[in-house]
Chains A and B, each alone.
Chain A
Amino acid sequence: MILAVLVACVVLLVIGSPVWVFLGLPAALGTLSIGVPGEAIAARAYEAVNSDTLISIPMFLLVGNVLISSRAMNDLIGCFDSLVGHVKGGMVLVVVAVAMFFGGISGSTTSEASIMALALAGPMLLSGYPKAFTAGLIASTATVAILIPPSIPMILYASITGESVSKLFIAGLVPGVIVSLMLGLGGIIIARRKGYGGSRPASSNSERLHKFLVALPIMTVPAFIVVGIYWGLSTASEIGAVAAVVSILITQFVYRDLGRKKLWAAFVGTARLSAAVMIMNATAQILSWLLAYEGVPQAITSLVTAAHLAPFVFLIAVNVLFFLLGLPLDPPPIMFMTLPILFPTLAILGIDPIHFAVLMMVNMTIAQISPPAGGALFAMATVAKIPLKDVFRGVIPFMGILIIALILITYVPALSLFLVH
């Protein structure tokens, strides 16, 4: 029966059913077929979202929506651009820095790529960077940002596995910064060797100072989130709420560019997106429950134990699995489908679940920018109006850097764990 349920999930995925339907409908019918009272279906969906961990999702989405609705991103771009935009390859650093500040706020790598493309593709092309390079750099840096707090996929990982959101955020921070810097360094080397950008005069020091001061208030928001979580000032959802209030205050009283109408639109957009993200959590729990009821995680664990799999072999296998799933899917559905099955095995093999979360994110990032199916690439091509063949060509060098980073993060757990422990 469980095989029929999983096959039905795949069929629904292929015919374009919404993720919350392909995760939940086959499992709901499977639950009924084994004679479990139907009320269990509704109860599982309800209990899955009756969770304080999930409160973080609307809070951090709100931070992102408010900042994106204001001129904050333009100010941030202006600040970094005045500092380094004039040197050859300087715009690479601008893209990396902005992606690190705004990354991970929508829960969808394709949305991240769209937001970044919208803000950064124009300035990069105008500064003389070719389309392929622009697309490759923005797609890779935007998707990697899901490692850096606040990251919606990390919150979902916490809600599925019961791990601490704060620990996951801290664990993602160092690898996120390292991978972003690796991408930045790679981008600068390419840009300098090929002579991209740097064709305009440098800003004066007073202009730089002015732009820095203008962007300073907005820089405090992500800094507050990271510091608040690292020092354990509060729970992740409370820090998200305070960050949302601070973002609103900054846009209302410092930038004064977010009128009541735009602010309300940011609230409504957050409400809609929160519902769309969390309904997946609700229906995925029906599948998780059925898998557990049928003993699937135990069977997989027994299989792994009987095969005497070394942890590193298991990690290679799951890396390949995540990569293949990540080509067509965003991180949330992959986590909902695989974590209930794979998570119990981690303890048997002695793999730290926090480390596993980080490598899972990096892996899905690579998949999302892998030609020909990576979702972020299509978003780049559509939003930035760059031909798909240029996007495919441009992303290849950055994929190479990400693969090196993945190997590093997979086999050096300390990179993810030293701040946590």
Chain B
Amino acid sequence: MFRLFERLVHRLGHWSLIACTVCVIYLMVTQTIEVVLRAFGRPTTWVYDINLVVIVGVVFLGLAGAERAGDNVAVDFITEKLSQRTNRVLKVVNSILILLFLALLIWFGIGVVMESLHQGRTTGGLFRIPSALAQSTLPLGATLMALQVIVDLVRVFRPLPGQADGTPVDAEGEPIPGPQEPVEVPLKPADPEP
């Protein structure tokens, strides 16, 4: 049952990360288009307004993916000197604190969205977009991240094979590439030209 839940959470986080990636590509393309069109004296009226909404999507839709890959920065120079048992306790404590914070962001984020819908608020500028559209990415992204944190928390007590050394692994037990992955230094000079 838990494996099914875990797969579902990973699938949702995966699609959310893809949406976040599409937002990054969209920003790159439209910002470039804006520069080119402005050079020809025909700046757009929509790039700035829409991009202000898209950048919010980049932040909140990428949260679950960043959490799963271990990209979120924490200060570990003290905790890494502690025993494995103490670190497990701290992992549980931190997960609970993260869930508490995410719960606040989800609850009050929904409040902000409902208020914007009720008031019919739109973003500023010429291209008026409903504010709720951008604001809803906060509770959505926070919910997906909370689900990922719950999965990680359960995995503290039910580790997958290969996870005992702390290496993050996915639902299939495969290591997830991330900053923790040990990297071998190539002991050879820069590659010659092909």
Q: A residues engaging B (CB < 8 A)?
A: 12-21, 24-25, 28, 32, 38-43, 45-46, 49-52, 54-55, 58-59, 62, 71, 74-75, 77-78, 81, 108, 111, 114, 117-118, 121-123, 125-127, 210-211, 214, 234, 237-238, 240-242, 244-245, 264, 267-268, 270-276, 278-283, 328-330, 332-333, 373, 375, 378, 382-385
Contacts and interface: CB of A to CB of B under 8 A. Distances in A.
B188 to A, nearest CB: 6
Interface string B167-194: 0000000000001001101111111110
B62 A55 contact: no
Nearest to B189: A123
B8 interface: no
Contacts, number: 236
Interface of B: 17-18, 20-21, 23-25, 27-32, 34-35, 38, 48, 51-53, 55-56, 58-63, 65-66, 69, 71-79, 90, 93-94, 97-98, 100-101, 104-105, 107-109, 111-112, 115, 134-135, 138-139, 179, 182-183, 185-193
A346 B100 CA distance: 36
B171 to A, nearest CB: 18
Nearest to A125: B187
A245 B76 CA distance: 36
Given A55-B27, A59-B27, A117-B185, A272 B190 contact: no
A242 B138 CA distance: 28
A214 B185 contact: no
Contacts of A373: 77
Contact of B109 (A42, A274, A384, A385): A42
A328 B75 contact: yes
A-B complex: 8 closest residue pairs judged by Cβ atoms: A275-B62, A241-B31, A16-B79, A276-B71, A42-B108, A42-B109, A38-B108, A276-B66
B179 A111 contact: yes
Contacts of B58: 58, 271, 274-275, 278
Contacts of A39: 108, 111-112, 115
23 contacts: A16-B75, A18-B73, A21-B101, A25-B104, A40-B108, A42-B105, A42-B138, A42-B139, A46-B138, A49-B55, A59-B27, A108-B73, A234-B35, A264-B21, A267-B21, A268-B65, A271-B23, A275-B60, A276-B62, A278-B59, A279-B60, A330-B73, A375-B77
A40 B115 CA distance: 12
Contacts of B56: 46, 49-50
Nearest to A330: B73
B110 to A, nearest CB: 8
B69 A12 contact: no
Contact of B97 (A21, A42, A330): A21
A241 B30 CA distance: 9
B168 to A, nearest CB: 13
Given A40-B108, A41-B108, A271-B58, 14 more contacts: A15-B93, A16-B90, A17-B98, A42-B135, A52-B48, A114-B183, A118-B183, A126-B187, A238-B34, A241-B35, A271-B21, A273-B71, A275-B58, A279-B66
